[in-house]
Structure 1
Amino acid sequence: MSLDLNTAKKRRICGWFVIKINVLFVLQSPLVQAIFSQNVEEVKLLLHKKEDVNVLDQDLRSPLHAAAFLGDVRLMDLLIKSGAYVNAQDRAGLTPLHRAAASRNGRAVGLLLSQGSEVECRSRFGSQTPLHVAASNRALRCVEVLLPLMSSVDVMDQNGRTALHHAAYNGDAEMVTLLLNRGADLSVKDNRERQPLHWAAYLGHLEIVKLLMSCSADVACRDKQGYSPLHVAALSGHIDVVKYLLRHGAEMDEANAFGNTSLHMACYNGQEAVANELINRGANVNQANARGFSPLHLAAVSTNGALCLELLVNNGADVNMQGIGGMFALHLAVLYGFSDCCRKNVECLNLLLNSGADFTKTDIMGRAPLHYAAANGTYQCTVALVSSGAEVNELDLNSCSPLHYAAASHTFRRIDADDHQSDMRDKEALLPVHYAAAFGNKHNLELLLEMSFNCVGDVESSFPVSPLHLAVCNGQCEAVQLLSETLVCVDVRDSAGHTPLYVAAREGSVSCVEVLLSHGASCCVREHDRKQTPLHGAAARGHTDCLYALLSRADRDDLIDLADAQGQTALMLATLGGHVDCVHMLLERGSTPDAGDRRSHTALHRAAVLGSVECVSALLAHSASPLCRDIWGRSSLHFAASCGHTELLRLLLNAAAQVDPLDSLLDYSRYTPAHWAAYHGHRECLELLLDYKPLSLQEGNRFTPLHCALTPLHAAARSDTVSGLQLVLFWGSEVNSVDQDGRSALMVAAENGQTCAVEVLLQQAKADPPLHIAARNGLATVVEVLLSRGATVLAVDEEGRTPALACAPNKDVAECLALILSTMKPFPVKDAGISVLKHCSIAANHHPLLNRYAKERHGTVGLDS
């Protein structure tokens, strides 16, 4: 518990008194300087010269604030008569009345009140009234002047504290007496439910405690966390207050919300006199708190708890009492590293061995006190326990011995124990040397290597992982240096085939990378799974410094373009991660920008997908080709258009125009970037592509961008927007073009429920009859069906062409065909049952039109039967 009234806030109320006046007001107005000089004549002269009486400084303080701070009634009266605002507030919300109250000048307070100053005006910080300020500053006369005008003597500030709280905090007996005589509530609680008695007891103001108790204050009152006045007096060590409260009925074994009694608090804070008084009065030395800890446990963790610990042991405290996690007092003593407590605790335990005390007992993790002493690096504690017979090879539930924990600690001094075993493995088969390496303790590594010849073999072993790997993974450069000097080969691999250099490069530890390279580590050793080198690891994570170190000491010329199992180079991985600095470095060192992986994807393909303009710019600056195709014939332009990266697409189009302006931009399925942009609904990309190559709407696959714009994703249309559709129509796309399945854009829109798209298409194609559409698109089967259903061959479209003329590829051909047909004589159809397509070679290439709405046949008997 931290029971204190913020002194800094009190000083803010008092304002300028913590800084020398001549320094603070060196930049103030002449009027304020004259006021602080208390030169009445000069003030009068300045006011006569029409000096602004309400001029404000940088903190919005007026001259009247300054005069009130000084408590100079003459200057205050002069300023007020000259028009000074009596209720002016500075930046902290303080008025001249607050300042006057802090100056403890009753006459100044009275003057301001007589001139209309607001008595209950509150500060901006702390929401304190002048009464709070006066009570905090022992301004008894000011309080006497203020009280008759207050609406209540128990008015609270922002923290819920009244003037009585402040007076009790300051130990001002006269102020407390005055407030109580004026009706102040002595049991009033602040926001933390602390009463004035709590503050007085916590700060050791015995006279105030007596005064409040004489007025029937509740000795057993509690705050929000269950602290009583006895608790706070005990934790702060005020023995006289503790004795007084005990004499007046305070319950010493009463616990707070955390289960701690007064004895717990006294022992935790090393208050030996209070602890002795409580024990002598019969306090329970073995009472457990909410975590199962007795006062002995708290004395063991205290920096000043040695005397309390000895006192408790001598008075029957149970040294084998277990708290949370099964920990004993001795565990806590060595864990928190107070060797003095540990020695005394061991001595006390030795005295109680005949009573069954056993300091070798373990907690629920199987750890004895020696484990904790070793882990905490407390040499004296460790010596004391080993000398007392503690088992140095005892294993906890993780199969760790004290030596494992000592190796990980910063205890550099060797413990002489002949029966220790440095080759004991924990549950994960790790040795003490692994712990020393992982935690970077060079001295411990040296000691372990000296202690056992086998440690050298353990360092070289990669089962389950080598110490060098652990040191590198944790960035322990000194340990890496020592182990590298010990090892014959630093390219030892772990179970995944990772070398220490690969791990260091992947983790970005440039110091470890440099140490390993200086000891001959190879940059070309690949790990097992993805066949990546350290260069791949550094590039993929964007570790520029490590990448530079690796490239500077490359042991083969083609290292920079070595590919992993997927065919990826370091440049590809750096681009994929968006690591621009690494991309620049690799390109400048000669990495091939157009190298492709197993699917022929280049670094530029990856940058296009990610939308990294910086990476694309870097690649293009080093002559990367935007027209490189993958195994499906797709270039980086296809990817940029598909992902909707407009600015990046603009860069690629400009580069493509310089490389090969005649490239059709078709992939192997004859799709253009415009197809992909329309397919995914990226309007800006589509506009850019159409502006670059308007004819791309008619080129390539017959599943045109128009179809894409109608139904993004084509099979699961979800949007009824028509912006993409209108755009491609604007650029001259054929409204009745069909895909490879013979479907027009209108059919696609209808199938997917795109109402708005259907309306747009119908409006665009309203003058074209179905027979014209089928004829224009070469749909022979559809033409046959339409003719059999009575479609007229003489119908004309908007341009006056019949269906026969609509078959012509352009207007000139249609005119020629019309001239030819006009000279021909009509011939009769001899057999109406013969298909019109019977003698046409095209018939063999079209399947009959499916009739999805035909009625089922239910086994009717044929007429011929």
Structure 2
Amino acid sequence: MGMLRGWEWGWSGDGNGDGPPLVQAIFNRDVEEVRTLLSHKENINVLDQERRTPLHAAAYVGDVAILELLILSGANVNAKDTVWLTPLHRAAAARNEKALHLLLKHSADVNARDKYWQTPLHVAAANRATKCVEAIVPLLSTVNVADRTGRTALHHAVHSGHLEMVNLLLNKGASLSTCDKKDRQPIHWAAFLGHLEVLKLLVARGADVACKDKKGYTLLHTAAASGQIEVVRHLLRLGVEIDEPNSFGNTALHIACYMGQDAVANELVNYGANVNQPNEKGFTPLHFAAVSTNGALCLELLVNNGADVNFQSKEGKSPLHMAAIHGRFTRSQILIQNGSEIDCADKYGNTPLHVAARYGHELLISTLMTNGADTARRGIHDMFPLHLAVLFGFSDCCRKLLSSGQLYSIVSSLSNEHVLSAGFDINTPDNLGRTCLHAAASGGNVECLNLLLSSGADLRRRDKFGRTPLHYAAANGSYQCTVTLVTAGASINEADCKGCTPLHYAAASDTYRRAETHSGNSHDADEEPLKESRLKEAFFCLEFLLDNGADPSLRDKQGYTAVHYAAAYGNRQNLELVSAWRDVLAAIPWAYNGHCEALKTLAETLVNLDVRDHKGRTALYLATERGSTECVEVLTSHGASALVKERKRKWTPLHAAAANGNTDSLHLLLDSGERADITDVMDIHGQSPLQPQPFWGAVSVGRKGVALSPGAGGGDPSPRAVLWPQAVTGCEDCLAALLDHDAFVLCRDFKGRTPIHFASACGHLEVLRTLLQAALSTDPLDSVVDYSGYSPMHWASYSGHEDCLELLLEHNPFAYLEGNPFTPLHCAVINNQDGTAEMLVEALGAKIVNSRDAKGRTPLHAAAFADNIHGLQLLLRHQAEVDLTDKLGRTPLMVASENGHTAAVEFLLYRAKANITVLDVNKNTALHLACSKGHEKCALLILGETHDLGLINASNSALQIAEAGLGACPPRGPGRGAGELTAACPLGHTPALACAPNKDVADCLALILSTMKPFPPKDAISSFSFNLLKNCGIAAKSAACGALPNGGSCPYGKDRHNAIGLDGCYSE
């Protein structure tokens, strides 16, 4: 939790002689040495590598005399280091009360925030500095300020478990119910971390013991997850709901069993927890106990307390299936002994035996078979357990399953051991026609293959695709399996339904190779040797096939030979074996996947490298399009032409390189020296290669903010033409190369946008840093705004790239004053970017909170338009004025009402106390605007806060307002008679009549309302009015979308994003 991990200082010297003399003197607490150094003009604001000043060190050490000496000598009391920590943060963290008092006396900013938006109060609370908190709190407007994660000082105090600090904050007004951004209240942390006394205090002060976080975790869930048995007992004594599910349907018992917290599970069961309650996927606590690493005791507990051992999940998995997945041998025995069904099938048809065979658990297979498991049961794709065992290469499991029958005995060809054949036909195919031998050949385990062959497996059997086991062995590059099958008599040139022989698949074996999932998680250090070993095996497999009569001239049904396959999939060694055959020339364009070694072999073999495929593309074109620089270098060095055009757009390789931003390829083509005017070759539209192409996209700021859209560039015959795509894609190396070739960093597209804009919008921090440095040296006076007045800060704010915004604020914090008055804060709140919005507010304060755009709208208007409640809360917390009007006279409440944003209207009415009587330039109130657009809920919310009948009867000046209305928007309010609601204005239209679709309906509605004296009770008004309308035969129109006459709607737009939560244990 941010500040909770301690505050070790970390100056390079720490008093040992390595740091600046002034810092060393401070750590040695030598006041006289400090005074002497200062008198000799020692730099009082010298910075270390983390930008900490001597005053930071003094605040950490806590020597008041040194601290005061530094301050009086001109030290900056609000200096921030690289993580924005001030000396006041340091003093609070070190619990140096006197140092903190002195800093406050000299105007240290008590509201200063670090990069995690934590104030000195957060730091003091986290570090048990009660005296510091007592000094800070009187200077604050609230103790409930939140950090970047939404946590208040009380969250931090509870996390540290300091009872005195928690009590102090509560006495100072800390809110018990404040939630962080995961909706966790302070009491969640007390439960999770086992701070029982703190939890008791919070409950005694009114904390909600039934509260939930965003994922539905209650206090009982959190305590169960971390094994806090005393907290669990206390919560149960308080009467919390024991079987309350979280968002995924898991109860506290599910969580305890999954985490292996057997003591907690026992307590919950003893208190009556439901041992058979399923979660959203149908898993009970017993399923969790069966699969958990440490769940053995939990499983035994559940079984002894009546848990259903045959309960199936929504996918049909029983607890025994779950135990089989992870090979939980002891737990499987307990389940079987307590009546678990051995051959229970899931929805795919797999029994526990299938699962155990798939994951290679031989001991579990023995247990299941001993207890009568059916080895001939069909599972997924009608496979036997034996299919799965050999497919994943588990020879011990294969042997065990083969020994299940006792029809006859044979002798393995590889050993003298006797193997019993299975009690089923070993050549029985699955629903795709594949036998166990096909599966073994695909799995690549030669021991499994030999066991099957020795048991009578048919090596000539074809599946539904016409493939024999040899096809599968060749496709996976399995040398030993290939040798075994060929030696046993497999046909080497037999073609499948597509006309492919085993040689076709062997030539491309690296592509078809099945992942060996049973080998566990691979480590990076092991990957290269393993890959090299596989490539060698694939080469030996191909070589063996060629040496034993495989014909490389055979074509598949599309006319391709093994040479084409080898070239297409880029295995140089495989290609060299077959490259002597006549189809090498046609294979050139196939080598476009960046397979440099394969391409080199072909290039050295042929004279003409400019052969084209059916689309007219040469190998050089394909290589530049894919950005395969090494292949481009090979081809250009062997004479491939950069001027050959493809058929559709008449592009040359140079066009392809420029359009895709492949700068290195571009330079290679330019340096090839083929023709001096190579850059002037035109495509079908008359564009040269170096004009910006429309395919990499541009970024625009418009009604919907910043968004990617196709760009259309003008001519720019210089390297700068490809700066834009590098800024969009974040290619740092390409960018550096272009800048080295004098690319102009401030070049603009047809909308005035620079690469800096694109990098900001796309969130490429290092690219942005490089571009800013280059721009500073190019033209430090350039304001870097586009033709619409938007700066990079606008783009970063709208897109939510906090790191880029932070860099831009450090570079020029006043950039928001330049260009478009629709500020970056407007952009952030209108797109629901809470992070960048908070960063802007914290960095720029009230100057930006109440700023107005060209139409007089504040960020609060933008947040109301976007229905952004977090944005509204943030802005109002920082003194945003709730009733400011724009140039149309509309307040944020009116904007929200017009757009039907019920949540924003409710917040502005009840929390911000917005004024509902304000009139816009057309004499519309918020109620008029809601009614005119048919937003019934908004209208009812406003009416609920209306105490002045004059507002209900207020007229506007828009003759057409009734025509834009919706008949189903009834006036509503306590004690409001029909006469009050129909008071005539000069045009005869009140908010009540604005709901009518036209004048005739308005007159009819007025007549109806005149009969309704008095109105029925408040809760009956809506249905009564609807029935009257229905009985009169009045059909209401749907709400009109247009703006009111003489008043335009706000040109805002926003995107909505959905988030998907994953279930997990309650941990940070």
Match of 1:425 in 2: 429
TM alignment of 1:805-820, pairs within 5 A = none
CA–CA separation in structure 2 for the residues paired with 1:148 and 1:461 = 81
Match of 2:57 in 1: 66
Q: CA 1:617/1:154 → structure 2, altered by over 3 Å: closer, same or farther? A: closer
Q: 2:185 aligns with which of 171, 195, 202?
A: 195
Q: CA 1:625/1:304 → structure 2, altered by over 3 Å: closer, same or farther? A: closer
CA contact (8 A) 2:393 2:440 kept: no
Q: 1:83 and 2:74 equivalent? A: yes
Q: 1:535 and 2:535 equivalent? A: no
Q: 1:105 and 2:96 equivalent? A: yes
Match of 1:588 in 2: 604
CA contact (8 A) 1:547 1:582 kept: yes
Q: CA 1:144/1:398 → structure 2, altered by over 3 Å: closer, same or farther? A: same
TM alignment of 1:38-53, pairs within 5 A = 38-53=29-44
CA contact (8 A) 2:650 2:683 kept: no
Matching residue's letter, 1:162 = T
Matching residue's letter, 1:454 = A
CA–CA separation in structure 2 for the residues paired with 1:282 and 1:333 = 25
Deviations 1:302-325 (A, max 9, x none): 111121112111111112222121
Q: 1:16 aligns with which of 8, 12, 18?
A: 8
When the two chains are superposed, the root-mean-square deviation of aligned CA atoms in Å is 3.9
Q: 1:502 and 2:509 equivalent? A: no
CA–CA separation in structure 1 for the residues paired with 2:162 and 2:337 = 47
Deviations 1:448-479 (A, max 9, x none): 334x1335555x99973122322333455564
Offset of residue 610 of structure 1:
6.5
Match of 1:842 in 2: none
Match of 1:514 in 2: 540
Match of 2:780 in 1: none
CA–CA separation in structure 1 for the residues paired with 2:504 and 2:7 = 61
Secondary structure of the corresponding residue to residue 454 of structure 1: coil
CA–CA separation in structure 2 for the residues paired with 1:616 and 1:240 = 69
CA–CA separation in structure 2 for the residues paired with 1:647 and 1:187 = 63
Offset of residue 487 of structure 1:
5.1
Match of 1:438 in 2: 442
Offset of residue 423 of structure 1:
2.3
TM alignment of 1:659-698, pairs within 5 A = 680=684, 682=686
Matching residue's letter, 2:497 = S
CA contact (8 A) 2:12 2:19 kept: no
Q: CA 1:438/1:39 → structure 2, altered by over 3 Å: closer, same or farther? A: farther
Match of 1:454 in 2: 457
Q: 2:586 aligns with which of 569, 579, 591?
A: 569
TM alignment of 1:597-616, pairs within 5 A = 606=618
CA contact (8 A) 2:391 2:440 kept: yes
Offset of residue 166 of structure 1:
1.0
Q: CA 1:683/1:303 → structure 2, altered by over 3 Å: closer, same or farther? A: closer
Offset of residue 362 of structure 1:
1.2
CA–CA separation in structure 2 for the residues paired with 1:618 and 1:89 = 53
Secondary structure of the corresponding residue to residue 86 of structure 1: coil
TM-score of the pair, normalised by structure 2: 0.53
Offset of residue 348 of structure 1:
2.2
Q: 1:362 aligns with which of 341, 345, 348?
A: 345
Q: 2:45 aligns with which of 54, 60, 67?
A: 54
TM-score of the pair, normalised by structure 1: 0.65
Q: 1:96 aligns with which of 78, 87, 95?
A: 87
Q: CA 1:296/1:504 → structure 2, altered by over 3 Å: closer, same or farther? A: same
Offset of residue 213 of structure 1:
1.8
CA contact (8 A) 1:571 1:603 kept: no
CA contact (8 A) 2:342 2:371 kept: no
CA contact (8 A) 2:470 2:490 kept: no
Match of 2:749 in 1: none
Matching residue's letter, 1:281 = Y
Offset of residue 117 of structure 1:
0.6
Unaligned runs of 5+ in 2: 406-421, 512-534, 657-668, 676-680, 690-713, 715-1068
Q: 1:218 and 2:208 equivalent? A: yes
Match of 2:576 in 1: 548
Q: CA 1:111/1:529 → structure 2, altered by over 3 Å: closer, same or farther? A: same
Q: CA 1:412/1:137 → structure 2, altered by over 3 Å: closer, same or farther? A: farther
Secondary structure of the corresponding residue to residue 395 of structure 1: coil
Offset of residue 112 of structure 1:
0.8
Offset of residue 606 of structure 1:
4.5
Match of 2:1054 in 1: none
Match of 2:843 in 1: none
Match of 2:20 in 1: 29
Deviations 1:104-153 (A, max 9, x none): 111111111111111111111x2001111111111122112212222212
CA–CA separation in structure 2 for the residues paired with 1:594 and 1:156 = 65
CA contact (8 A) 1:176 1:208 kept: yes
Offset of residue 445 of structure 1:
2.7
Q: CA 1:540/1:195 → structure 2, altered by over 3 Å: closer, same or farther? A: closer
CA–CA separation in structure 2 for the residues paired with 1:605 and 1:199 = 63
CA contact (8 A) 2:11 2:48 kept: no
CA–CA separation in structure 1 for the residues paired with 2:86 and 2:673 = 69
Secondary structure of the corresponding residue to residue 529 of structure 1: coil
CA–CA separation in structure 1 for the residues paired with 2:653 and 2:386 = 62
Q: 1:412 aligns with which of 395, 416, 434?
A: 395
Secondary structure of the corresponding residue to residue 428 of structure 2: coil
CA contact (8 A) 2:27 2:58 kept: yes
CA contact (8 A) 1:611 1:645 kept: no
Q: CA 1:105/1:508 → structure 2, altered by over 3 Å: closer, same or farther? A: same
CA–CA separation in structure 1 for the residues paired with 2:37 and 2:598 = 70
Deviations 1:470-512 (A, max 9, x none): 2333455564465455556544433333222321323446431
Offset of residue 82 of structure 1:
1.4
CA contact (8 A) 1:394 1:401 kept: yes
Match of 2:773 in 1: none
Match of 2:384 in 1: 401
Q: 1:282 and 2:272 equivalent? A: yes
Q: Count the aligned residue pairs.
A: 622
Offset of residue 584 of structure 1:
4.3
CA contact (8 A) 2:615 2:648 kept: no
CA–CA separation in structure 1 for the residues paired with 2:688 and 2:263 = 82
Offset of residue 102 of structure 1:
0.7
Offset of residue 683 of structure 1:
7.6
CA contact (8 A) 1:93 1:123 kept: yes
Match of 1:772 in 2: none
Match of 2:373 in 1: 390
Q: CA 1:296/1:571 → structure 2, altered by over 3 Å: closer, same or farther? A: closer
Matching residue's letter, 1:16 = E
CA–CA separation in structure 2 for the residues paired with 1:102 and 1:156 = 18
CA contact (8 A) 1:160 1:191 kept: yes
Matching residue's letter, 1:433 = L
CA contact (8 A) 1:21 1:36 kept: no
Secondary structure of the corresponding residue to residue 643 of structure 1: coil
Q: CA 1:547/1:41 → structure 2, altered by over 3 Å: closer, same or farther? A: same
TM alignment of 1:622-637, pairs within 5 A = none
Structure of greater Rg: 1
CA contact (8 A) 2:682 2:688 kept: no
Q: CA 1:252/1:505 → structure 2, altered by over 3 Å: closer, same or farther? A: same
Match of 1:206 in 2: 196
Q: CA 1:540/1:44 → structure 2, altered by over 3 Å: closer, same or farther? A: same
Q: CA 1:440/1:66 → structure 2, altered by over 3 Å: closer, same or farther? A: farther
Matching residue's letter, 2:243 = D
Q: Percent identity?
A: 43
Q: CA 1:393/1:28 → structure 2, altered by over 3 Å: closer, same or farther? A: same
CA–CA separation in structure 1 for the residues paired with 2:149 and 2:649 = 60
Match of 1:372 in 2: 355
Q: 1:239 and 2:229 equivalent? A: yes
